[in-house]
Amino acid sequence: MIQGDKVRIRKISLSDADLLCKWWGNGEVMKHVGFTNGVKTDIEGLKDNIKNQLNDMNKYRKSRMFIVLDKNTEERIGELVFHDLDLENKSCTIGIKICEVDYQGKGYGEDTLRTFLTYLFKEFNLHRIELDTLFENTRARNLYKKVGFKEIGIRRDAWIDAEKNYRSFVLMDILEKEMK
């Protein structure tokens, strides 16, 4: 388990599938990533994905999902993922979401992000980590900048959401030496 000041981060388990489907299906939780009506998720497909991750003991797997816990209560409050792990170029891409609304805006996201970045940089000897976020998600962009991410580009009108609106993404990255 990975320890932060406010959170613990653990690898996903099969018992997390129902909660992930609940979070992903909630438009209030998912609106900041462009899904105002939530995302319908095939629970069996998700369970198969989790089983594959659990059965793959390769430390250097290209992607892996994690669950964020409140350190004091052990309540599951969010999710993390790394993917596109590239050991040759010492980089990967991450995603982060504090899904329990009561925990948003209270420092859990910052602690989760700092803790996860520290883990990834050290565990995999990475040099660079990237992510993207919706252009209008200023709260996330401000958090990412606070820990040292830089905006490196915009993918304009890169995706059409459920309401048929084009959405743009801000690309951000951080080098290990840039962490604040």
- Chunked into runs of 10 residues, the chain (180 residues) has average pLDDT values of 95 91 72 66 84 89 95 96 96 95 94 97 97 93 96 95 91 94
pLDDT at 95: 95
Spatial CA neighbour of 148 closest among 115, 116, 122, 176? 176
For the chain, how many helices (H) and strands (E)? 5, 8
> What integer pLDDT is reported at residue 42 of this predicted model?
79
Residue 38, pLDDT score: 60
Q: What is the pLDDT, as a whole number, of residue 180?
A: 77
Q: What span, in angstroms and rounded, lies between the C-alpha atoms of 29 and 45?
A: 21
Residue 162's nearest CA partner among 42, 22, 24, 38 is 38
d(CA 130, CA 6): 23
- Angstrom distance (rounded) from CA 180 to CA 177: 9
Amino acid identity of residue 133, one-letter, is T
Domains and their CATH numbers in the chain = 2-127 (3.40.630.30)
How far apart are the C-alpha atoms of 51 and 68, rounded to whole Å? 19
Q: Look at residue 36 in the predicted model and tell me its pLDDT.
A: 62
